Amino acid sequence: MANDVIDSLENMKLTTEEEEVIPISDEGQLDTIEECSLSLMGKFLTCKSFNKRAAKNTMRRAWGLEDRLRITEVGPNLFQFKFTSEFDLNRILRGGPWSCDNQLLMLKRWRKGMAIGNIRMETVTLWIQIWGAPLDMYSSRVAKEVGSRLGLVEEVEQRKGHDELNYFMRVRVALPISKPLRRGSFIAGFDGEKNWVKFKYERLPMFCYYCGVLGHDIKNCAAHFVVTQNGVVVDYQYGEFLKAMGG
């Protein structure tokens, strides 16, 4: 049960009738479970208002599902995308990140028991490139170890041959949206020698060059507003250099 619902019930004196648990028949639930089982819940990570109808049409075209996708707004900036096949659902879920007008669409697969009050969109999944590691650390195992310190690792690129270009390692990570993007990190092998590796993010949507957090820009950053109002000259620590080439 959602925390906000629990909080309200704690302060509510229920009548005897309100305490009754209403049983729902299998017939009343099975049809909707079947319909929901092929759906994704989605929310745009944005601080701006947007044209919801245009956003829906954009996603249908981007996914090539103009006639095979139902989109229903089930809450404020919360959408249910209903597919007709498991193949299409997985293709979209794994093919992200998706964005509309540079505003990231966060997606989560529907699970039984989801309600408007308990759906939490707390991560975004991005492919991260790891640049500058020593050559003896270029491996999928190392990429996974580095990625696990950034968030939940969902996939690691497997190199197909030793003769391919090997400038960087790639790992797909579910990143917490509450934290600034990591620009890099020190890594150290068994000898303890530290090396700095840089992170670049593929298809990186809108983020703030002041605080490094996804979902807003400088003009809509409360922390940046406070600092600049006090006349402080800002040294921006984030910027275009975090974007992977072509992303």
Question: Amino acid identity of 148?
Answer: S
Q: Is 115 helix (H, G, I), strand (E, B) or coil?
A: coil
Q: Along the 247 residues of the chain, how does pLDDT read in single tens digits?
A: 444 444 566 778 877 777 777 555 555 554 555 567 788 989 998 877 888 888 898 999 999 988 888 998 888 888 999 998 899 999 999 888 888 888 889 998 888 777 777 788 889 999 999 999 998 888 899 999 999 999 999 999 887 555 566 789 999 999 999 999 999 999 998 888 899 999 999 999 899 999 999 989 898 888 887 788 777 788 899 999 999 986 5
| pLDDT for residue 2 | 45
- Output the CA angle 147-151-155, nearest 5 degrees: 55
Peptide bond into 97 cis (omega under 30): yes
Q: Is 225 helix (H, G, I), strand (E, B) or coil?
A: helix
| pLDDT for residue 146 | 95
Rounded CA separation 52/66 (Å) = 16
Other CB atoms within 10 A of residue 151 CB: 20
For residues 68 and 91, is the Cβ–Cβ distance under 8 A? no
Q: Quickly list DSSP for 58-91.
A: HHHHHHT-TTSEEEEEEETTEEEEEES-HHHHHH
Helix or strand holding residue 33 (H, E): helix 26-36
pTM: 0.77
Rounded CA separation 102/100 (Å) = 5
For residues 89 and 38, is the Cβ–Cβ distance under 8 A? yes
| pLDDT for residue 228 | 82
For residues 68 and 200, is the Cβ–Cβ distance under 8 A? no
| pLDDT for residue 13 | 81
| pLDDT for residue 6 | 47
Side by side, the strands of the sheet bearing 123-131 are 152-156, 168-176, 123-131, 194-201, 184-188
Q: Which residues contact 60 (CB under 8 A, 6 or more apart)?
A: 66, 69, 71
Closest by CA position to 128, among listed 97, 169, 96: 169
| pLDDT for residue 143 | 93
| pLDDT for residue 199 | 96
Phi, psi of 143 (to 5 degrees): -60, -40
pLDDT in tens, 203-237: 998 999 999 999 898 988 888 877 887 777 888 99
| pLDDT for residue 67 | 83
Helix or strand holding residue 194 (H, E): strand 194-201
